[in-house]
Amino acid sequence: MRHFITTADWSKDELQSVLQVADRLKQDRNQCLLDGKTVALLFLNPSLRTRASFQIGAHQLGAQAVVLEPGNGAWGIEFDQGTVMDGTAEEHISEVAAVLSRYCDMICMRAFPMFQDWSYDRTDPWITALVRHASVPVINMETIVHPCQELALMQTLREKLGEPAGRNLTVTWTWHPKPLNTAVANSVIMIATKFGMNVRLLIPNSDYLLDESFMAAARNNAADADGSFEVTHDIDAGYAGADVVYAKSWGPITFYGDADGASNLSEKYKHFIVDEDKMSKSNNALFSHCLPLRRNIKATDGVMDSEFCVAIDEAENRLHVQKAMMLHLLGVNASEVRS
Amino acid sequence: MRHFITTADWSKDELQSVLQVADRLKQDRNQCLLDGKTVALLFLNPSLRTRASFQIGAHQLGAQAVVLEPGNGAWGIEFDQGTVMDGTAEEHISEVAAVLSRYCDMICMRAFPMFQDWSYDRTDPWITALVRHASVPVINMETIVHPCQELALMQTLREKLGEPAGRNLTVTWTWHPKPLNTAVANSVIMIATKFGMNVRLLIPNSDYLLDESFMAAARNNAADADGSFEVTHDIDAGYAGADVVYAKSWGPITFYGDADGASNLSEKYKHFIVDEDKMSKSNNALFSHCLPLRRNIKATDGVMDSEFCVAIDEAENRLHVQKAMMLHLLGVNASEVRS
Amino acid sequence: MRHFITTADWSKDELQSVLQVADRLKQDRNQCLLDGKTVALLFLNPSLRTRASFQIGAHQLGAQAVVLEPGNGAWGIEFDQGTVMDGTAEEHISEVAAVLSRYCDMICMRAFPMFQDWSYDRTDPWITALVRHASVPVINMETIVHPCQELALMQTLREKLGEPAGRNLTVTWTWHPKPLNTAVANSVIMIATKFGMNVRLLIPNSDYLLDESFMAAARNNAADADGSFEVTHDIDAGYAGADVVYAKSWGPITFYGDADGASNLSEKYKHFIVDEDKMSKSNNALFSHCLPLRRNIKATDGVMDSEFCVAIDEAENRLHVQKAMMLHLLGVNASEVRS
């Protein structure tokens, strides 16, 4: 049994097969290949696209999705093992996982980091615990990585650019009033290097470096796929020659657990906002972002409303790639999918 | 492409065609005319009837409805254009509308006024922004008007009274501890006049006048359809000769943004409660209300439990008229609907 | 028209027929016997298993379930009759029940006690009011009893033990930081005695006695079915000879409405936790609990992860018994269910 927790566990060939099925599902949305199946969607954090696209995607495949929000309509969950549960959580992930495995054919979960202790959060303890106790396939709907977003990005780049290998992608940090999750940044550098792109990480300074595990994965991917991975603090250098600019905000890991310190530091770098002037320094780059995006904070209206913004296409592709991944994990052969 | 934002955009003939389809759907609820379609339901405010009837209605037509609650499980939304989004909203309606238009075949939204500034709220900025950015049909599930409720009222009156033209309908203001939305009152005076009824608006004093745009629409409708529209502050005169009494509470627009002032003023008029004594002064009138209704505040138990109360029938008809409107907006011809 | 509010209204034979259908549905989950039907699920309190299993169960039978959460996305509800509704509730159960009866074929509700006044709560006023005003069958999803859990327990015991009559079942109180609902304890003693088991209620002292109505029902059931019902405060005596140990925490009714007093008293009895040492004193007993369960508070990890823990099986059986009960209440004959 396979899970989809991080693309680090999947080869480029495997992911490409999934993307090819996604292309077919994009042409023909309603295919009852999962008739009678049920998918549980566990949301520990807010969602619009993920929630809508998984529900709709499951339905279009003939399956049923059930949304559960622990702490909001469902009981709060404890994820650590061996805990004396005298806090606020009313039940343990071991029971949640075991029970939902009896009711459902797949469990998907979103569980953002807690922003207290990175040495703990970096182990992705929530989805790890779910996988340990589940007896059905699990899909990560964003924890410290966001693999479904990775697939959606790659489907979009293949549609817009053709073969992505050898093209230049810049991940630029941008300001946001709150210190956010690094998940999408971690994910973008891993998937783009896996597909042979030359990836630049543009950050204000070394406080904004991503966790070394993801940076190392990007370097290794680049070495394997004849791409590259580098870090720059220079905005001009970051945009120069870029074929794709991907924006994301995150809190500096050096200030993890110190929201005020993180916000004070990040405020100095509001000028990292993606605007038309910066984009003009690129190689007529596409612009994207995982959404939600605060306009005129992370990117200007001009950028968001431009022809080169593909964020909406990427959001649409969430639907198709997730359906393809559900089929793959539930053992539906690609040949059964109409094209 | 057509939207259903306000009945002011629709002719009486068009609405009557929709009601005729609703009549057929009431006889035969399950008709898979929207197989494979998806409808997004965006709720920025609470709902019981609207939420249930749209979900059930979509399902009975073979479609899937997805409920999203921005600010409660989904990200908060900014509706104004050009804003620097440094407040609490994490994303802009332009992205919400564009993404949902890729996932879904229709978007329905409930967005109550903010009760700060009527000069702003009266422009219905939320649904207007949604329509601007959506590329699929939009249905208003209550903003500053409540057009689905209007259709349900008219289906109910046609069932109970036959032809409504020439009959007398009184909209009576009633007390409620909080200053509420004027939407249903605005809607009732517009639809009843459009269908040729003689409409009286019974309010304690001129603080409770509805916005002039809706009053003017009612007067114009009345002129076109040989009905009438008048305002009275006299309870006896308001009930005399009424064939239908429709109750609704709302905050005085003159105190808009001043909840305490509004509540203090309204408290003086608790005696506007609809009771059996007042109803006995009417022409054996039907009584209705959009629900939810606080019993023994807006209307007495005696009125609510009486044979002349048709509020439950009107609530049921929400299901049928909304299904008919979904079919209409998605291009299903009336002839395809079984009778 | 029949409702499923408490098993006190149902004979053992009737319940056994439902369990036999549940057994068949467990073998063959997807059977479209309720095509085109709709079930409303009203949750006034959190839920994971109930919410998931009713939604999934309805879908597997071809029906649609609609989740409504009064006070969280839907309007708050008043349940008392004759109230002047000037509090927080925006609508009355009489309208909720009547409207949902027009939209749906069945209404299920969870409404926990208010923990203020047991003389009020013990009348189960919420579900009673719903039944009074509904014109479709009602299922209790937990109020002061939890009849669906009862059926799931009995299906589990029949699977694991064969005929339950004559076997020994101990309901042991356990500690929890908050004074919880007595519903499951009330339910277990009623159903186990109805099926002829010898039931022991193990509680720290007489503060933890259950309401006399449920104790009397258990005694009467035992007399009718040749079982027994007794109370003990002695842990060793409680476990000795037990074939099944069922754990549950609840607040002492003598401190009802006094959460601090209840918690202070209960803290003295933390040692009632179910652990492997206590279980070793039983007759190789099965262990179960309704879930959610706080690990290492109510029961140890060792017990929960043991081979004799059947709580997950019982949770799974919620799905099957509820589907069987929905079929029964909606008039689907047992012979129509594939085995």
Q: In C141-281, which ranges are E strands?
A: 168-173, 198-202, 228-232, 244-248
Is A29 at the interface with chain B, CB within 8 A? yes
- Judging contacts by C-beta atoms under 8 Å, the chain C residues touching residue B43 are 73
The model's confidence at residue B26, banded by pLDDT at 50, 70 and 90, is: very high
Element (H, E) at C99: helix C93-103
Q: Which tokens go with C103?
A: 């939209």
Please, are residues A143 and A183 in contact by the beta-carbon 8 Å criterion?
yes
Mark yes or no for CB contact A292/B38 under 8 Å: no
The predicted pLDDT at position B71 comes to: 86
Residues of chain C neighbouring B59 (CB-CB closer than 8 A): 38, 64
End-to-end CA distance of chain B: 26
Closest chain B residue by Cα to residue A57: B103
Q: Mutate which of A66, A68, A100, A106 to disrupt the C interface (most C C-beta within 10 Å)?
A: A66
Q: C329 CA to chain B: closest CA distance, Å?
A: 20
Q: What is the four-CA torsion angle of A218, A224, A227, A228, rounded to 10 degrees?
A: 40
Residue numbers in A near C295 (CB within 8 A): 78, 83-85, 92, 94
- Segment A295-315 shows an average pLDDT of 98
> CATH 3.40.50.1780: does it fit domain C7-145+318-334?
no
Q: How many CB pairs under 8 A join A and B?
A: 95
- Say if residues B145 and B187 touch (Cβ distance below 8 Å): yes
Contact B323, B6 (CB under 8 A): no
A78 → chain C, closest CA residue = C294
**Is the separation of the CB atoms in B25 and B31 below 8 Å?**
yes
Instruction: State the pLDDT at residue B174.
Output: 98
Give the chain C residue whose CA is nearest to the CA of A63. Answer: C59
CA–CA separation, A66 vs C258, rounded Å? 37
Query: Do C85 and B43 count as a contact with CB atoms less than 8 A apart?
Result: no
Query: Are residues B72 and C72, on separate chains, in Cβ contact within 8 Å?
Result: yes
Can you give the pLDDT at residue B226?
97
Residue count (chain C)? 339
Rounded to the nearest 10°, the torsion over CA B21, B27, B31, B33 is 0
Instruction: Report d(CA C35, CA C37) in Å as an integer.
Output: 6
* A328: closest CA of chain B, how far (Å): 21
Contacts with C86 from chain B: Cβ below 8 Å: 177, 294, 297
Contacts of C74 in chain B (CB under 8 A): 46-48, 51
pLDDT at C5 over 90: yes
Residue C205 in this model has a pLDDT that exceeds 90: yes
Q: Residue B294 is nearest to which of C74, C85, C104, comparing CB atoms?
A: C85
Residue A339: band (very low, low, confident or very high) from pLDDT cuts 50, 70, 90:
confident
Q: What is the CATH number of domain A149-314?
A: 3.40.50.1370
Q: Could you tell me which of A220, A155, A177 has the C-alpha nearest to residue A22?
A: A155
Residue C45's pLDDT is: 94
Q: For the segment C75-125, what is each residue's pLDDT rounded down to a tens digit?
A: 899 999 999 999 999 999 999 999 999 999 999 999 999 999 999 999 999
User: Residues of C with CB below 8 A from A134's CB?
Assistant: none
Domain A7-145+318-336's class? alpha beta
Q: pLDDT-derived band of residue A197, with 50, 70 and 90 as boundaries?
A: very high
Residues 79-118 of C with CB under 8 A from B: 81-86, 89-92, 94-96, 98-100, 102-104
> What does the pLDDT average to over A259-273?
97
| B216: helix, strand or coil | helix
Q: Which residue of C has its CA nearest to A35?
A: C30
Nearest CA in chain A to C175: A86
What's the token pair of residue B87? 């407040």
Measured at the CA of B303, the angle between CA B302 and CA B305, to 5 degrees, comes to: 70
pLDDT mean across residues, chain A = 97
Q: B112: number of CA atoms within 13 Å, CB side? A: 14
pLDDT for C173 equals 98
Cis peptide before A292 (omega within 30 of 0): yes
Q: What is B58-85 written as a DSSP string?
A: HHHTT-EEEEE-BTTTB--EE-STT---
Contact (CB, 8 A) for A42 and A140 = no
- Contacts of residue C150, Cβ cutoff 8 Å, sequence gap at least 6: C7, C187, C188, C190, C191
Exposed / middle / buried, residue C333 (Cβ in 10 Å: 0-12, 13-18, 19+): exposed
Please compute the mean of the pLDDT values over residues A252-277 and round it to a whole number.
97
Give the pLDDT band of residue A210 (cuts 50, 70, 90): very high
Distance from CA of B60 to the nearest CA of C (A): 7
Taking the C-alpha atoms of residue B264 and residue B254, their distance in angstroms, rounded to an integer, is 13
Distance from the C326 Cα atom to the nearest Cα atom in chain B, whole angstroms: 18
Closest by Cα among C60, C61, C66 to C38: C66
3-class secondary-structure state, position B105: coil
Distance CA C332, CA C325 (A): 10
Q: Do B297 and C96 touch (CB under 8 A)?
A: no
A66 touches chain B (CB under 8 A): no
What mean pLDDT, rounded, does chain B reach? 97
Cβ distance of A295 and B85 shorter than 8 Å: yes
Size of interface B-C (CB pairs under 8 A): 95
| B293 neighbourhood in chain C, CB within 8 Å | 91-92, 95
With contacts defined as CB-CB under 8 Å, which chain B residues touch C132?
A: none
Of the partner residues B81, B96, B104, the one whose CB lies closest to the CB of residue A48: B96
Per residue in A66-106, pLDDT tens?
999 998 888 899 999 999 999 999 999 999 999 999 999 99
Q: Report percent pLDDT > 90 for chain B.
A: 98
Query: pLDDT category, A215, cuts 50, 70, 90?
Result: very high
The owner of tokens 């009286």 is: B200
Residues 246-305 of chain A with CB under 8 A from chain B are 291-297, 301, 304-305
Assess if CATH 3.40.50.1370 describes domain B148-314. yes
Chain A residues whose beta carbon lies within 8 Å of the beta carbon of residue C60: 36, 38
For residues C289 and C248, the answer to whether their CB atoms sit within 8 Å is yes
Closest CA of chain B from C94, distance in Å: 9
Residue B206 has pLDDT above 90, yes or no: yes
CB < 8 Å to A69, chain B: 73
Can you give the residue ranges of every domain in chain C? 7-145+318-334, 147-314
* Type of residue numbered C225: A
Q: Which of residues 160-199 of A touch C (CB under 8 A)?
A: none
Q: Which amino acid is at C46?
A: P
Contact state of B301 with C78 under an 8 Å Cβ cutoff: no
Amino acid identity of residue B44, one-letter, is L
Are the Cβ atoms of C75 and B177 closer than 8 angstroms? no
pLDDT value, residue A190: 98
- Cross-chain CB nearest to A91 (options C30, C51, C292): C292
**pLDDT for A322:** 98
CATH superfamily, region C147-314: Aspartate/ornithine carbamoyltransferase (3.40.50.1370)
The model's pLDDT over B170-203, given as tens digits with 9 standing for 90+, comes to: 999 999 999 999 999 999 999 999 999 999 999 9
CB–CB of A296 and B89 under 8 A?
no
What's the Cα-to-Cα distance from A215 to each of A209, A212, C175, C207, rounded to whole Å? 8, 5, 47, 60
Q: Cβ B294–C102 below 8 Å, yes or no? A: no
Query: What was the pLDDT predicted at C108?
Result: 98
Q: How far is B329 from chain A (nearest CA, A)?
A: 20
Phi-psi region at B296: left, alpha or beta (left = phi > 0; alpha = psi -120 to 50): left
CATH superfamily entry for domain B7-145+317-336 = Aspartate/ornithine carbamoyltransferase (3.40.50.1370)
Q: Do the domains C147-314 and C7-145+318-334 match in fold? A: yes
* Sequence-ordered list of residues with C-beta below 8 angstroms from that of B110, at least 6 positions apart, any chain: B42, B43, B44, B45, B47, B50, B141, B142, B143
Q: Are the beta carbons of B294 and C82 separated by less than 8 Å?
A: no
Nearest to C56 among A64, A74, A84 (CB): A64
How far apart are alpha carbons C14 and A326 in whole angstroms? Answer: 41
Q: Is A135 on the interface with C (CB under 8 A)?
A: no
In our burial notation (b when 16+ CB lie closer than 10 A, e otherwise), range A94-115 reads bbbbbbbbbbbbbbbbbbbbeb
Distance CA A207, CA B210 (A): 57
Q: Please give the mean pLDDT across all residues of chain C.
A: 97
Contact: B84, A304; criterion CB under 8 Å? no
What global pTM score does this model have? 0.98
Q: Work out whether the CA dihedral C132, C134, C138, C140 comes out positive or negative.
A: negative
Q: Is the pLDDT of residue C71 over 90?
A: no
Token pair of B323 as six digits: 């299904």
Q: Would you state the pLDDT for residue A25?
A: 98
Q: What are phi and psi of B2, to 5 degrees?
A: -110, 145
User: Average pLDDT of B221-235?
Assistant: 98
Does C74 score more than 90 pLDDT?
Answer: no
Q: Do C314 and C290 meet the contact criterion of CB atoms below 8 Å apart?
A: yes
Q: What is each CA distance from B53 to A160, C101, C103, in whole angstroms?
A: 41, 12, 7
Confidence band (pLDDT; 50, 70, 90) for C135? very high
Cβ pair A73:C55 closer than 8 A = no
pLDDT at residue C73, as a whole number: 84
* B29 interfaces chain C, CB cutoff of 8 Å: yes
Extract the tokens encoding C152. Answer: 């799931």
Closest CA to C142 of C180, C199, C168, C92: C180
